[in-house]
Amino acid sequence: MDHFQYQDGQLMAEDVALTDIAEQVGTPVYVYSTATLKRHFRVFREAFATVNPLICFAVKANSNQAVLTTLAREGAGADVVSLGELMRATKASIPGERIVFSGVGKTDEEMEAALRVDIKQFSVESEAELEALNIVAGRVGKVAPVSIRVNPDVDAMTHAKISTGKSENKFGIAWQKADAVYGRIKELPNVKAVAVNLHIGSQLTKLEPFREAFERVLGLVRELRAKGHDIKHVDLGGGLGIPYDPAAATPPAPSAYGEMILEVMGDMDCDIILEPGRLIAGNAGLLLTRTIYEKQGENRTFYIVDAAMNDLARPAMYDAYHAIVPVTEPSDGKTVTADFVGPVCESSDVFARDRKTPALKSGDLVAIKSAGAYGAVMASTYNSRPLVPEVLVNGNTFEVIRRRQSLEDLLALDSIPSWLED
């Protein structure tokens, strides 16, 4: 469920009309719902109420400070993958004990910064990273809490570009090497094994891959404990999908996901860390855009909107489906089949192909739904198009939580070398 519903013929974000946001802020603009963010987090947390896991929101899904602060006040931790995300998490008042640091390419600078705020764990993804972390931790006088991210070689049955748990993916340490790597941890003075973790992919729509991967990891935990490793918790990652396409299979509910995990965990006596991102933020946001032109091609109709692939990359990058709806509810019942496209000079700048939609005209507002995750965070300034603003709605009020970048802002990032100056 989300809080974007029609009232008296107008699409609302909670109790704010999207037409009001468009009038005051302009388009394109990302719009997020506080009520939806809170509801999704609470529903997910309630699915695990009996074990009270640490729920670390995947900051890469939506890193806006207002979103992070909203979730932090609900008790969320943070799963970060860069120094910038670490800084965003701490600025949102998420304490180090609720932060895990993932990613395959952590630098010495990032490791040192994370050590200084005493994060919960480093999710180590290679032997080389482990050795580097040991050196950095020694230099700053800390013992780094380590969880090895194992690659269980499980097919997540999701899009190839968001699958992370197969042997050919760059993520994690091969299943067969895990025992030796934990043995190496025992030999190093400045790292300590506290957990095992995995993450097999994103937008999973079936529970079976999760179950297979989790059972493998728990088997590894038993083996490691038998060899004297003090494994206190397991980090099961994220990846549970959300319903983008109403015609596609509905992903499992958080309650079913929770039941499966608790069944697999049994009496393991392990604390649990979970890293949802899309599940919390995806349907809590939309991209509000305006139709510029209706164009009749030789065989098809195009609706050209003022948003583009640089603003929302998922359709171009993953062939992702996003529902697109008019902001003013149609009354005449007239429909057409059209492509929704942006102004960027690329054939891949397409939000939808052959989509049945109410007939539109130039100037009409439309909402591209399920854009709260991997939307604004993946945006670029391709074609010298400034980054669009973000708005957070709370009940009957809203505020701009990231201002629209101006062309002057964009151009000011460049500089002319001395030999080209007059």
The model's pLDDT over 262-300, given as tens digits with 9 standing for 90+, comes to 999 888 889 999 999 999 999 999 999 999 999 998 889
The pLDDT tens digits for 116-147 are 999 999 999 999 999 999 999 999 999 999 99
Show the tokens assigned to 64: 């806006």
Beta strands, E only, 233-334: 233-235, 271-274, 285-296, 301-305, 324-326
Please report where in the chains the tokens 């496209």 appear, as a residue.
Answer: 341
Question: Angle at the Cα of 39 (from 33 to 44), degrees rounded to 5?
Answer: 130
Which string of DSSP letters, residue by residue, matches 311-345?
T--HHHHH-----EEESBPPSS--EEEEEEE-SSS
CA distance 6 to 14: 10
For 185, the 3-state DSSP assignment is helix
Question: Angle at the Cα of 160 (from 60 to 195), degrees rounded to 5?
Answer: 55
**Residue 270 is a catalytic residue:** no
CA distance 390 to 404: 8
- In sequence order, the 6+-apart residues with CB closer than 8 A to the CB of 170 are 104
- In sequence order, the 6+-apart residues with CB closer than 8 A to the CB of 346 are 309, 316
Q: Based on C-alpha coordinates, what's the Rg of the chain?
A: 23
Q: What DSSP element (H or E) covers 149?
A: strand 144-151
Point out the catalytic residue in the list 49, 128, 226, 345: 345
Q: What is the pTM of this model?
A: 0.93
Q: Which stretches of the chain drop beneath a pLDDT of 50?
A: 156-169
Query: Residue 192's CB: how many other CB atoms inside 10 A?
Result: 16
Q: Which domains, ranges and CATH numbers included, belong to the chain? A: 4-31+282-412 (2.40.37.10), 103-274 (3.20.20.10)
CA distance 21 to 4: 13
**383 conformational bin, left if phi > 0, alpha if psi -120 to 50, beta if neither:** left
Question: Angle at the Cα of 118 (from 116 to 122), degrees rounded to 5?
Answer: 105
pLDDT of residue 170: 52
